Amino acid sequence: MADNEGKLVDSEYWGVKTMAYKINKNRKGHYAFLRTDAPAAAVQEMERLMRLHDDVMRVLTIKVDEHAEGPSVQMQKRDERDTRRERR
């Protein structure tokens, strides 16, 4: 990514998670979250390289105006998350 003037802002490894449905006969997969600051060409090249790799099953890229500070919701402790319902 540095070749195309992009930079990695933050990365998180979310661990092994069960997928919603089987992909290539796999029920579980390793999940990673990358925050990048890169032009469109760098993002397209990164996605192209990931599609060529046999171990990468899916890639999702989302454009945001600015990155949120701190850990993602996935990495926050259960107590720190906004609760939708009160526990009894």
pLDDT value of position 1 = 58
Under CATH, what is the fold of the domain 2-57? Alpha-Beta Plaits (3.30.70)
Whether the predicted model's global pTM rises above the 0.85 cut: no
Residue 37, classified by CB atoms within 10 Å of its CB into exposed (0-12), middle (13-18) or buried (19+), is middle
* Span 35-60, average pLDDT: 90
User: For residue 85, what pLDDT band results from cuts at 50, 70 and 90?
Assistant: low
User: For residue 72, what pLDDT band results from cuts at 50, 70 and 90?
Assistant: confident
What is the spatial distance between Cα 4 and Cα 38, in angstroms, rounded to a whole number?
8
Tokens of 69: 């500070």
User: For residue 83, what pLDDT band results from cuts at 50, 70 and 90?
Assistant: low
What is the spatial distance between Cα 18 and Cα 72, in angstroms, rounded to a whole number?
19
* % of the chain at pLDDT higher than 90: 28
